[in-house]
Structure 1
Amino acid sequence: MLDFFRWHDILDIIIITVIIHRLLLLLVGTRAMQLVKGLLVLGVVASLARVLDLRTLSWFLGKVLGVLIIAIPIVFQPELRRMLEELGRGNIWRRKRAQKKAEALSQEITRALGYLKGQKIGALLVLQRETGLRDFWSTAVRLNAEVSQELIIAIFWPDNPLHDGAVIIDRDMILSAGTYLPLTENTNLSRWIGTRHRAALGVTEVSDAIALVVSEERGEISLAINGHLSRNLKDNQVYKLLMHYFGAEENERRSFLDRIQEEIRSLWQ
């Protein structure tokens, strides 16, 4: 067999592998991905039927697959069109890089908040969105540093001069530390809500930003958005919320706020 195996065959295998991989990436998160899984199951069953010489089952699956070949392009026309459009624009390469970057940033912040929570060290992170927060970060300590677990922990470490204020993040950059925010004007809050939580609510009342708070008394993470507070988030919930934030540009059909509110509702179901 090695005598008939040429270098062209290796190149051929590599090209086919790359094409299949890219096509699967385009299908991830769509209805068509479920179809692919179903076709794989049918393929496995059909192969077993042939090996075991189950003629009736083989004939039936052959007819089903024949019908599917005609039906698939009709039923999944929107997904196929979107896939070809993205392939033509080269979006698959950019989407892959953006996905990896969103995962890395989300992991850095989640780990930092998880560590601070475990040590019961208070912290307040504000994620800037469409509404600029220049009025707040322009008077704070400017950092313009890359987001990292170590830097976030160092900022909020006890006795650090910056640990009392908030950190403002704009996508992949930490804009400022030691930032002072307006407190909420809501007078119907419980006594357990401290200054950090009131500042988190305050900034989300005057902007579309979201805020993550670590309570040093209870050792829990809370989320403030649109003037509402959700308490005691788990690490995986924080990670999902951050993925929504850093990957917001990848989803054109649903607004960031809609997806965050849906995630919050799912926390308590």
Structure 2
Amino acid sequence: MLGLFRWQDLLDIVIISFVVYRLLLLLVDTRAMQLVKGIFVLGLLAAAARVFELQALSWLLGKSLTALFIAIPIVFQPELRRVLEELGRGQIWQRRQAQERAEQLADEVTRALVYLQGQKIGALLVLERTTGLKDVWRTAVRLDAEISQELVVSLFWPNNPLHDGAVIVNKERILAAACYLPLTENSNLSRWLGTRHRAALGVTEVSDAMSLIVSEERGEISLGIKGHLSRGLKEKQVRRLLLHYFLAREEQKGGLLEQLRRELRELWPGSGGKNEI
């Protein structure tokens, strides 16, 4: 049996598996993905019916699958057209989806922070990286929600029950709100910095997370990372920092920090940022 197996057969299997995998990625978060799951379940039932020689069930499932394959192009025309468009642009072979998703998340968070800055509403957003912050958010209000401008703004809106505390984000999800963070142990900070900034620095001293702070008194956005505070970030700068974060991969542990330092040097040449520490 193994003697009949050629290297071309192995290559054939690998190529088909890769194509099916990329097609499934294009269908993620669409209605068509639920259909694929349904067809898979029906296929398993049909196989089981044949093994146990359940002729009536096999006939019924066979007719159902035939009807589904006829109805799919009609019901899911928009999804199929989208897949073909992606194939036509060659996106199935590229990582454009990850880039577009990161840009979308960066835009959502940036717009939220800039809006809060314009309204002078205080906010503290913690971006979790490789070090888990479960000890911080397990006693807070769990959300596990998708990131959106409206949700971030509403969480920090005055008189909202969840506005007092930090919001923790992990890649593509908002994990929790109303989180209380450890305060920094650095005694050399400016006395003008309040509890929000001290908490933002405290969490970066006990983990590799970074924090974004909106000051309600000064109406400015600041970045906390590795126990250092950089103040006065502009909208473009915030977006680029967030884009680096959402694009960062686990294996590039030192890459994100270096990118942030480069960004801050561009904003404040020769200083690396207005560090309070």
1:44-63 aligned at under 5 Å gives the runs: none
Q: Does 1:159 pair with 2:159?
A: yes
Match of 1:178 in 2: 178
Q: Which runs of 5+ in 1 are unaligned?
A: 1-89
In structure 1, C-alpha distance between the alignment counterparts of 2:198 and 2:238, rounded to whole Å: 20
Where 2:145 maps in the other structure, the secondary structure is strand
**1:29-40 correspondence runs (5 A):** none
Alignment partner of 2:196: what SS? helix
1:96-111 equivalence runs, <5 A: 96-111=96-111
* Match runs of 1:95-174 below 5 Å: 95-174=95-174
Q: State how far apart, in whole Å, the 2-side matches of 1:160 and 1:106 are.
A: 24
| Aligned amino acid, residue 144 of structure 2 | N
Once the two structures are TM-superposed, the CA of residue 248 in structure 1 deviates from its matched residue by 1.1
Cα displacement (A) at 1:93 = 3.9
Partners of 2:251 and 2:239 in 1: CA distance: 17
**Secondary structure of 2:95's partner?**
helix
- Does the 8 Å contact 1:95/1:250 carry over to 2? no
Q: Structure 1 length as normaliser, TM-score? A: 0.64
1-structure distance, mates of 2:93, 2:258: 27
Q: Give the distance between the partners of 1:182 and 1:92, measured in 2 at CA.
A: 44
> Do the aligned partners of residues 195 and 254 (structure 1) sit closer, same or farther apart at CA in structure 2, a change above 3 Å counting?
closer
The Cα of 1:253 is off from its aligned counterpart by 10
Higher mean alpha-carbon deviation, 237-246 vs 94-103, is at 94-103
SS at match of 1:178: strand
Task: Establish whether residue 191 from structure 1 lines up as the match of residue 196 from structure 2.
Answer: no
Residues of 1 paired with 2:97 and 2:263: CA distance? 24
Give the equivalent residue in structure 2 for 1:233.
233
Q: What is the aligned-residue RMSD (CA, Å)? A: 1.9
What are structure 2's unaligned runs of at least 5 residues? 1-89, 270-277
Give the whole-Å Cα distance in 2 for the aligned partners of 1:243 and 1:95: 15
Q: For 2:205 and 2:145, how far apart are their aligned partners in 1?
A: 26
Judged with a 3 Å threshold, the aligned counterparts in structure 2 of structure 1 residues 123 and 252 are, in CA distance, closer, same or farther, namely closer
Specify whether residues 259 and 251 from structure 1 end up closer, same or farther in structure 2 by C-alpha distance, changes over 3 A only. farther
Following the alignment from structure 1 to structure 2, what is the Cα–Cα distance between the partners of residues 128 and 265?
23
Contact 2:183–2:201 (CA<8 Å) still a contact in 1? yes
> Is the contact between residue 141 and residue 177 of structure 1 (CA under 8 Å) also seen in structure 2?
yes
- Following superposition, the deviation at residue 94 of structure 1 comes to 5.0
* Alpha-carbon spacing, 1:93–1:108, altered in 2? closer, same or farther (3 Å): farther
SS of aligned partner of 1:150: helix
Determine the C-alpha separation between the residues in 1 that align with 2:168 and 2:129. Answer: 11
Matches of 1:131 and 1:93, distance apart in 2 = 32
What secondary structure, in the 3-state scheme, does the structure 1 residue paired with 2:182 have?
Answer: coil
Instruction: Give the secondary-structure state (helix, strand or coil) at the position aligned to 1:160.
Output: coil
Q: Secondary structure at 1:249's aligned position in 2?
A: coil
Q: Which amino acid aligns with 1:179?
A: C
Match of 2:54 in 1: none
Deviation, structure 1 residue 251? 9.1
- State how far apart, in whole Å, the 2-side matches of 1:207 and 1:106 are: 22
Structure 1 residue 92: deviation in Å? 6.7
Deviation at 1:250, TM superposition (A): 9.8
Q: CA deviation at 1:217?
A: 0.3
- Tell me, in whole angstroms, the C-alpha distance in 2 between the residues paired with 1:173 and 1:126: 12
Superposed CA deviations along residues 119-147 of structure 1, whole A, max 9, x for unmatched, are 00000000000000000011100000000
C-alpha deviation, 1:91, in angstroms: 9.1
Q: Is the 8 A contact 2:130 2:250 kept in 1?
A: no
Aligned length: 180
- Which amino acid is 1:118 matched to? G
CA distance in 1, matches of 2:262, 2:248: 14
Relative distance call for 1:176 and 1:203 in structure 2 (3 A) is same
1:261 CA drift (Å): 1.8
CA displacement 1:182-232 (0-9 Å, x = unmatched) = 000000011111111000000000000000000000110000000000001
1:243 match: secondary structure: helix
1:19-54 deviations in Å (ceiling 9; x for gaps): xxxxxxxxxxxxxxxxxxxxxxxxxxxxxxxxxxxx
Alignment of 1:68-87 (within 5 A): none
